[in-house]
Homo-oligomer: A and B are copies of this chain.
Amino acid sequence: MTSTINDIAREAGVSIATVSKVINNKAHVSPDTRKKVLQVMEKLHYTPNVSAANLARRSSMNVLYADRFYKGLPYENPHMFDIVCGVSHELSRKGYRLSLLNLDSCGKKPEAAMEEVILSRVADGIIISSAFVTARMERLLLKYDFPQICIGEPAFDTILSWIDTNNTLSSNLAVEHLVSTGCRTLAFMGGRREDSIFMDRLRGFRSAMERRGLEVSEDYITYNPPDVEAIFRSASALLELPVPPDGIICTNSLMAVGAMRAIQAKGLDIPGQVSLIAFDDHPYSPMVSPQPTIIDVDLFSLGVHAGNLLLKKIRDPAMLVQTYTALPRLLLRGTTRL
């Protein structure tokens, strides 16, 4: 059927040990022999059997991305795929493969599924959504000293490695930009109180304001459900305040749309009378007019970074814990002044 290392060895008149050395670019093979072996490999269309190599080498050249991959997920989390692409890109450049581990629909508890994965040696490391990183999960990963990177800072104190976006810095950047373009009264439109990402951004907002000696009244901070109409009302209320805001920070694009509609409904000019800045870019930005100024993060790069970090840990098990936060960037568009 397909050729094996034995066929190559026989045909090239060498031992399989030598062929193995050629395959893995190891030393102690003369240029002539190497060339000969390579020719035969080429001729017989030889490709090493991955399972056999994995077994002998005690490694799979494989990494898992552990998360929930379910219906409509791009709707809930339209950005997650960007990270996956980044990881995959980096790994495949380095000769590794990325497999998806569906921690939801494999019929087992996440921790059980994880232990099985580790013991079965199906992967050399794992990239795991911090949504699945419980204390038990942490213990498991540490127990086996399994190379790992969490996507998102875990919700508890941990000594696992993680990477995340810098939400505090993002808020700071937003405030900085609004203030430097002349805004005096800032409002903040957040999501639900339970959502840590919003709360991080709110914390960042408060500290950024404080650092600049600007006062922040609770009246200018709103918490909104993911519903355009509710957001519209919430933004309208902000504009009714005795001193209405001249700069609004929206923690996502949906809020940006609701807020913009409210501003326009009041007949106010954007960015002439009210500036607006939103978090997270998305494919349909051009749909709104004027196009919103955005603070976001290059998630593809974040994925590349995660892959890179994990590979380092795999190659050097002694490597220490790492954390990394990606810097936000400002996409200057039409809803803030220059």
- Measured CB to CB, the residues of A under 8 A from B are 2, 45-52, 54-55, 60, 62, 69-75, 78-82, 84-86, 88-89, 92-93, 97-102, 105-107, 115-116, 119-122, 227-228, 253-254, 257, 261, 282-284, 286-289, 300
A92 touches B74 (CB 8 A): no
CA of A107 to CA of B93 in the docked complex: distance in angstroms?
7
CA of A70 to CA of B81 in the docked complex: distance in angstroms?
10
A69 touches B55 (CB 8 A): no
In the complex, which residues of chain B have a beta carbon less than 8 angstroms from the beta carbon of A120?
A: 47-50
In the complex, which residues of chain B have a beta carbon less than 8 angstroms from the beta carbon of A93?
A: 105-107
A69 touches B85 (CB 8 A): yes
Q: A69-B89, A98-B100 are contacts. A122–B81 as well, Cβ < 8 Å?
A: no
A50 touches B45 (CB 8 A): no
Distance of A146 from chain B, by nearest CB (Å)? 12
List the B residue with the shortest CB-CB distance to A289. B261
In the complex, which residues of chain B have a beta carbon less than 8 angstroms from the beta carbon of A72?
A: 82, 300
CA of A97 to CA of B100 in the docked complex: distance in angstroms?
7
A71-B86, A89-B102 given. 19 additional CB < 8 A pairs? A48-B120, A51-B51, A55-B55, A70-B85, A74-B78, A74-B85, A92-B100, A92-B102, A93-B106, A97-B101, A97-B122, A98-B99, A100-B100, A227-B286, A253-B284, A254-B284, A282-B283, A284-B284, A287-B288
A69 touches B84 (CB 8 A): yes
Q: A105-B93, A228-B287 are contacts. A121–B49 as well, Cβ < 8 Å?
A: yes
B89 touches A119 (CB 8 A): no
B253 touches A62 (CB 8 A): no
Q: A47-B119, A78-B78 are contacts. A287–B257 as well, Cβ < 8 Å?
A: yes
In the complex, which residues of chain B have a beta carbon less than 8 angstroms from the beta carbon of A86?
A: 71
Cβ contacts A to B, 23 pairs, < 8 Å:
A47-B115, A47-B119, A49-B55, A49-B120, A51-B60, A52-B55, A54-B54, A69-B85, A70-B300, A74-B81, A75-B283, A81-B81, A88-B102, A92-B102, A93-B105, A93-B106, A228-B286, A254-B284, A254-B286, A257-B286, A282-B283, A283-B284, A284-B284
Q: A47-B120, A49-B55, A49-B121 are contacts. A71–B300 as well, Cβ < 8 Å?
A: yes
CA of A306 to CA of B222 in the docked complex: distance in angstroms?
44
B97 touches A85 (CB 8 A): no
In the complex, which residues of chain B have a beta carbon less than 8 angstroms from the beta carbon of A107?
A: 93
List the B residue with the shortest CB-CB distance to A89. B105
CA of A107 to CA of B92 in the docked complex: distance in angstroms?
9
List the B residue with the shortest CB-CB distance to A304. B71
